Amino acid sequence: VRTLPYAAYSDPDVLARERELLFRPAWTYAGHLPEPGSYVTTRVAGVPVVAVRDRDGVLRAFVNVCRHRGAEVVSGGGRCTTLQCHYHAWTYGLDGALRAAPRAGDDLDRSELGLLPVAVDAWGPFVFVNVAEDPAPLAQTLGPLPDIVRSRGLDIGALRFHHRVEYGVDANWKVAIENYLECYHCAVAHPGFSQVVDVRPDEYELASHPTFASHYGHARDGEAQGQFHLVWPALKLNVMPAELPNLSIGPMWPASPSRTDGFLDYFFAPEATDAWIEAFLELDDQVGAEDAVLVASVQRGMASGVFEDGQLLLPSEELIAAFQAWVSAGVSPRG
């Protein structure tokens, strides 16, 4: 099985198509909104979005573009009672309605100038948004994933949000995702991780599904089960095989043909101590730094133009084959 053509990893036209056909229609993880007044901002294929939990606890999401002159209304995340634009202070309620516009008289028709609603849905504490018109429910994208996560031993409702980490790599988004989808490189490139997780092929499990792909590994020294899922196109969900419940979740998205950004929200069991979390993150950071070097190297090799494509090794790289089939189907002229 050959890889996708290397040209598809650097061509801006290919990326434009992928943004439009793969990222824009997808349910995109935005964050967690623990209480009334919580809000979080994100972008879906270039569309700024804000998700809020309103006063009654209801989730809402809007295009985060001001109806005055187009500024992004709010940034970051946190708590709020209204959504006030940082440019000229047009102020929207958590229902998106325009409440106030400084200096505006009665002739301004506020009813026509509310924030544009978009779809929002949740899986436990995880809030997703979708900018497509009338999308199918989130449950359809997730499929059996929530059941799998639970049956593999993790109760997501018992976790507490700890922090968010933003990161980026110098590689096409598909290089970053493909690197995530195999542990063929683990023994060679992640010695620290491989000391903790049994990465031998007979002990390490791969499974692909129509909307996501999964791998499972257990701790070398115990029963703890790890699970690593990738929901198409680019949402990661990691559970490390550790003594305490833990999870990190977050999307990656293309910043340019050769640059990919992302974030991970870390959640831990309430009993996890600062010292435990620190040791956990040290290993996590080490793996992340090692992967950043790998994918940048792949990007340079592909971009050299010497070879047209590469060779996939099955079954170790079967999730990459599944990902590439999904990408190809999604961007093909008939979709």
154 is an interface residue for ligand FES by CB under 6 A = no
Could you say which of 8, 15, 33, 66 contacts ligand FES (CB under 6 A)? Answer: 66
Specify whether the CB–CB gap between 213 and 230 falls below 8 A: yes
Nearest to 288 by CA among 269, 319, 263: 263
Q: Which is nearer to Fe ion, 54 or 290 (CB)?
A: 290
Specify whether the CB–CB gap between 182 and 317 falls below 8 A: yes
Q: Tell me the closest approach of the beta carbon of residue 56 to Fe ion, in angstroms.
A: 43
82 is an interface residue for ligand FES by CB under 6 A = no
Give me the sign of the Cα torsion angle 143, 9, 262, 33: negative
291 binds, options ligand FES, Fe ion, none, Cβ within 5 to 8 A by partner type: Fe ion
Please identify, among the stretches 18-26, 29-37, 81-89, 235-243, the one whose residues bind ligand FES according to the rule CB under 6 A: 81-89
Specify whether the CB–CB gap between 37 and 81 falls below 8 A: yes
How far from the centroid of its chain's Cα atoms is residue 102's Cα?
Answer: 37
Q: Which is nearer to Fe ion, 291 or 318 (CB)?
A: 291
284 is an interface residue for Fe ion by CB under 5 A = no
> How far apart (Å, rounded) are the C-alpha atoms in residues 296 and 302?
10
Residue 90, both tokens: 């047009």
Using CB atoms within 10 A of its CB, is residue 50 exposed (0-12), middle (13-18) or buried (19+)?
buried
18 is an interface residue for Fe ion by CB under 5 A = no
Q: Which is nearer to ligand FES, 96 or 233 (CB)?
A: 96
Q: Which is nearer to ligand FES, 102 or 157 (CB)?
A: 102
121 is an interface residue for Fe ion by CB under 5 A = no
DSSP 176-235: HHHHHT--TTHHHH-HHHHHHB---GGG-EEEE-SSEEEEEEEBTTSS-EEEEEEETTTE
CA atoms within 13 A on the CB side of 245: 17
Q: Tell me the closest approach of the beta carbon of residue 94 to ligand FES, in angstroms.
A: 17
Specify whether the CB–CB gap between 82 and 92 falls below 8 A: yes
> How far apart (Å, rounded) are the C-alpha atoms in residues 263 and 29?
10
85 binds, options Fe ion, ligand FES, none, Cβ within 5 to 8 A by partner type: ligand FES
255 is an interface residue for ligand FES by CB under 6 A = no
Please identify, among the stretches 61-69, 137-145, 200-208, 281-289, the one whose residues bind ligand FES according to the rule CB under 6 A: 61-69
Q: Which is nearer to ligand FES, 98 or 319 (CB)?
A: 98
Binding mask 84-123 for ligand FES (x = CB under 6 A): -x-xxxx---------------------------------
291 is an interface residue for Fe ion by CB under 5 A = yes
318 is an interface residue for Fe ion by CB under 5 A = no
Measured CA to CA in angstroms, residue 126 lies from 34, 43, 92, 111 at distances of 10, 16, 24, 31
Residues that bind Fe ion (CB under 5 A): 291
Binding site for ligand FES (CB under 6 A): 66, 68-69, 71, 85, 87-90
